[in-house]
Structure 1
């Protein structure tokens, strides 16, 4: 008996229509795209907490590709997208299964920026062929998550709660999407009591923020933070700066710089100008001395509202996280620092700045200035750790990539794992070390860093998502074997609450090294985290600086 091509389900805001489709490997599924979960963030809503959409009575057509929030397309060299893009995609096998499906929710990466290094369609379909469960994906670039001007404006409005722009609007968008899923999922065949949240890079950082923010309590039941946590301080947690005023000035603002004046200007400015201006606001000192990768990122909100998401330092929030009783997986790749190859530096200023060893110091995280005596000592220690007696040069970038990988990713990942352990609770904490290298490592090819060893930042994505960057793998190929391996771990965790890998030890002790599941193209085994010796040096520096480790 042939099935109807279109399928209609009800949501709390109105009916939506999806259609039946087939994956590249021949599996049938039902597709719903572009379902609104929030009101368009335009005008007065542009930088404020999200609002639920108006209800509709006519059936919403969810068979078309959903729009993308405004972002900067690095190939076209201009802003693209629309502001009314607060929508969600749903992929399911059956809207009325005999037993409700477990649910996967994916949050994409992108540094919390309005940046489209890769067209959104490249990383589009999760590999449903081997998942056997319903999958919700948050794929459209979140305008407020990406552009994050609301955290920038916080610099200007922290003494004026009447403006109601305390920041972190993008994380609040995500939280509203999770609430929508929790309340509507059953109508799509999903189990509202079995939701696994996972994400990569800024998506992994977002996952960790939801794990520690009380606002997301109970909205999901397991989590996987991949190559990112809230403790990756140089991009996932920001000091307040005057970025909003900088952007406004680049857009033509000539006002007095007051909170209200800048806010009103940006509320009415063309989003294309805002997005393009946001590409050019960091100073050389911020980029190359302070190692700020992106201008915008989550911040501690300056006053309490009914929608406060981050009320104090993430380290302190993690100590009392609501999620300590749920199971979580953290992990990263063998060469996370190759992220820096994704952002070309034509004049190699990053390397030039490191000729002065003091610039190795994580100034922002340790609340230090360049001319501080400790800064000079710490910088010299880190320079010797990665370069020994040699000097940083453009012909010797591998130590630089290892340094950036530890600074931007692995040290924060280790601290996040230890903070979970210190907090106690019944939840298990697992760690993986991704070292798979095959033709599926499309980002390494795209950004021309194949000469360097190790799996690149985001290297796992080619094993989770279909992509136009490489052809469909043959069923008997090493690529497909590893797709099965990676997706199998994710799906087992989401479906059964365990990883499906019997030898995968959980981390229970504050004693280092962390124990990790080492994933290679030829197999997997438990190992001590290879970065441990270097990260112990970071620990020593942070302790001497009086910083809180976890």
Structure 2
């Protein structure tokens, strides 16, 4: 879905409005925020054909034109996931305080969080519009920008497939990464149509949180996205995080088939059968696919972005390992912001996939009885191997010393989970980009010891900000203004504040975002250096990381 901030003129509440797109006319509406800001809304705008029937699992197809006016006053259904949704979900939502093709406002496209397994872009943009922010959402995307109650940005985001977006079968018309290609299709739609809503197609900024942040990074690495965007922001997620990428998932596709009673070893036959399974049955089977010990490694399910099988009919979104692409510098060198929150791993003690009650001794006994759950899956080590056991023991000693992993050492457990799942690979990417770009910015969001995704409370306001003089409002002003100025110019500026310097080969700067902004160096240096040594010593890819600049050597 897509929100778009388009001008300084305000619509009159209750009006209907018509905009012409490449597919036909859209009938939108107007709305008013609680603080009295008026804006136009266009909801449920299709950017691709519904991926149903023979199009299930396939790469997106361009949306059909329509005759007459299309009613765009209601949200479309979110994409299919465990608690509902629909396969027919490839739509944009657009919200804008003004219309007009000559506004040339910067565009922000938001990809939402959800581990490539759940979530939607159902965020209310009203708070942002009160602050002059433009937001664009897909069913898996949203956007934001704030500058002194003046609307300066346009935002857009596409709804993309979750369950059915990452099946990959060799020798079929489903090579993989359809969900990421949905986002490419949405970006192409934006490139073609956004000027009708006042946006500048030459100033498109992607941003997202968690899986959305990983999506942004994937687009930076993909040749399919070249020229469709011009800056990127990854909040708490990169393409190289161990939960965001899998080498191949075809074996899980066959397991899924067997669980559904489909007995075949032929990829094409499996695909034909899966296309005829009712959508709700397919979703229910996927949710139950992983075994408990596998959930400790994948967390949700294993249909993720991956290397694609060769196809005669389409170009791949991802033809090489993300680390390999970064190593060789074969990525879109656009201005880039990436960072993490202080306590990313806090969610691991409230949403563990195998046991939710951390106050029970059994929870911690389970962890201590299976220390190899702390071995990142992307090291490529076989569980039970001498190398895997060595890594597990080194990790235990580094974070806990001679203490047990328990409720009393939960802070160390949170640090460990933060590092494994988010911090380490984000900092590896920062070091890689420092060698290839002079416009990469790193941040650490430490306000109130924020956990995973909690920075969104301030970016989107939600229920956090209680008044313009509150601490929360101050933080919202920081992050909103930095993000907005980055979308405008490619440089994250905050007037009267510290200058946010980009990283370089010799100086790994990062902006600490708290009650005050401060420029620091070498985020969590001791912990990152520990993991640099682990990856250099044990990763099976053949790549090595320099402890000084994070430079990769060797080949995959």
Name the CA shift for 1:404/1:109 in 2 (closer, same or farther; >3 Å). same
Task: For 1:486-505, list aligned pairs within 5 A.
Answer: 486-501=479-494, 502-505=498-501
Q: Distance in 2 between matches of 1:383 and 1:291?
A: 20
Q: Distance in 2 between matches of 1:529 and 1:335?
A: 17
Equivalent position to 2:475, from 460, 478, 482: 482
Q: Distance in 1 between matches of 2:244 and 2:333?
A: 27
Cα offset for 1:329? 0.3
Aligned partner of 1:267 in structure 2 is: 275
Cα offset for 1:473? 2.2
Name the CA shift for 1:170/1:324 in 2 (closer, same or farther; >3 Å). closer
Aligned partner of 1:301 in structure 2 is: 308
Q: Distance in 2 between matches of 1:500 and 1:216?
A: 26
**1:427-463 CA distance string (max 9 Å, x none):** 50001100122xxxxxxxxxxxxxxxx2110011111
User: Do 1:33 and 1:63's aligned partners in 2 also have CA atoms closer than 8 Å?
Assistant: yes
Cα offset for 1:319? 3.6
Aligned partner of 1:121 in structure 2 is: 122
Name the CA shift for 1:291/1:197 in 2 (closer, same or farther; >3 Å). closer
Cα offset for 1:258? 2.5
Q: Distance in 2 between matches of 1:431 and 1:471?
A: 24
Q: Distance in 2 between matches of 1:266 and 1:248?
A: 7
**1:488-517 CA distance string (max 9 Å, x none):** 111111123221135211101166xx3211
Name the CA shift for 1:143/1:107 in 2 (closer, same or farther; >3 Å). closer
Aligned partner of 2:68 in structure 1 is: 58
Q: Distance in 2 between matches of 1:174 and 1:356?
A: 41
RMSD: 2.5
User: Do 2:461 and 2:476's aligned partners in 1 also have CA atoms closer than 8 Å?
Assistant: no
Q: Distance in 2 between matches of 1:461 and 1:483?
A: 9
Equivalent position to 1:192, from 201, 207, 214: 201
User: Do 2:92 and 2:139's aligned partners in 1 also have CA atoms closer than 8 Å?
Assistant: yes
Uncovered stretches (5+) of structure 2, i.e. residues with no partner: 1-9, 142-157, 546-551
Q: Distance in 1 between matches of 2:280 and 2:536?
A: 44
Q: Distance in 1 between matches of 2:491 and 2:240?
A: 25
Equivalent position to 2:511, from 496, 517, 523: 517
Deviates more, 1:53-62 or 1:363-372: 363-372
Q: Distance in 2 between matches of 1:529 and 1:148?
A: 39
Aligned partner of 2:42 in structure 1 is: 32
Q: Distance in 2 between matches of 1:322 and 1:25?
A: 47
Name the CA shift for 1:333/1:220 in 2 (closer, same or farther; >3 Å). same
Name the CA shift for 1:126/1:40 in 2 (closer, same or farther; >3 Å). farther
Aligned partner of 2:318 in structure 1 is: 310
Name the CA shift for 1:208/1:191 in 2 (closer, same or farther; >3 Å). same
User: Do 1:48 and 1:150's aligned partners in 2 also have CA atoms closer than 8 Å?
Assistant: no
Cα offset for 1:363? 5.3
Q: Distance in 2 between matches of 1:385 and 1:293?
A: 27
SS in 2 for 1:326: coil
Q: Distance in 2 between matches of 1:129 and 1:274?
A: 42
Uncovered stretches (5+) of structure 1, i.e. residues with no partner: 74-79, 438-453
Name the CA shift for 1:239/1:211 in 2 (closer, same or farther; >3 Å). same
Name the CA shift for 1:353/1:540 in 2 (closer, same or farther; >3 Å). farther
Name the CA shift for 1:172/1:336 in 2 (closer, same or farther; >3 Å). same
Deviates more, 1:523-532 or 1:380-389: 523-532
Q: Distance in 2 between matches of 1:144 and 1:165?
A: 16
SS in 1 for 2:63: coil
Equivalent position to 2:81, from 71, 79, 91: 71
Aligned partner of 1:386 in structure 2 is: 399
Deviates more, 1:13-22 or 1:501-510: 501-510
SS in 2 for 1:179: helix
Cα offset for 1:397? 2.4
Name the CA shift for 1:230/1:457 in 2 (closer, same or farther; >3 Å). same
Aligned partner of 1:413 in structure 2 is: 426
Equivalent position to 1:203, from 205, 209, 212: 212
2:322 equivalent to 1:328: no
Cα offset for 1:264? 1.6
Equivalent position to 1:282, from 276, 287, 290: 290
Q: Distance in 2 between matches of 1:354 and 1:140?
A: 33
User: Do 2:457 and 2:464's aligned partners in 1 also have CA atoms closer than 8 Å?
Assistant: no
Aligned partner of 1:534 in structure 2 is: 527
**1:259-283 CA distance string (max 9 Å, x none):** 1232122111111111122221111
Aligned partner of 2:26 in structure 1 is: 16
Cα offset for 1:478? 2.1
Aligned partner of 2:548 in structure 1 is: none
SS in 2 for 1:355: helix
Name the CA shift for 1:385/1:357 in 2 (closer, same or farther; >3 Å). farther
Cα offset for 1:466? 4.5
Task: For 1:435-454, list aligned pairs within 5 A.
Answer: 435-437=446-448, 454=449
SS in 2 for 1:33: strand
Q: Give the TM-score normalised by structure 2.
A: 0.85
Equivalent position to 1:365, from 375, 378, 402: 378
Name the CA shift for 1:143/1:295 in 2 (closer, same or farther; >3 Å). farther
User: Do 2:206 and 2:216's aligned partners in 1 also have CA atoms closer than 8 Å?
Assistant: yes
Name the CA shift for 1:354/1:510 in 2 (closer, same or farther; >3 Å). farther
Equivalent position to 1:506, from 502, 509, 519: 502
Name the CA shift for 1:341/1:24 in 2 (closer, same or farther; >3 Å). farther
2:231 equivalent to 1:230: no
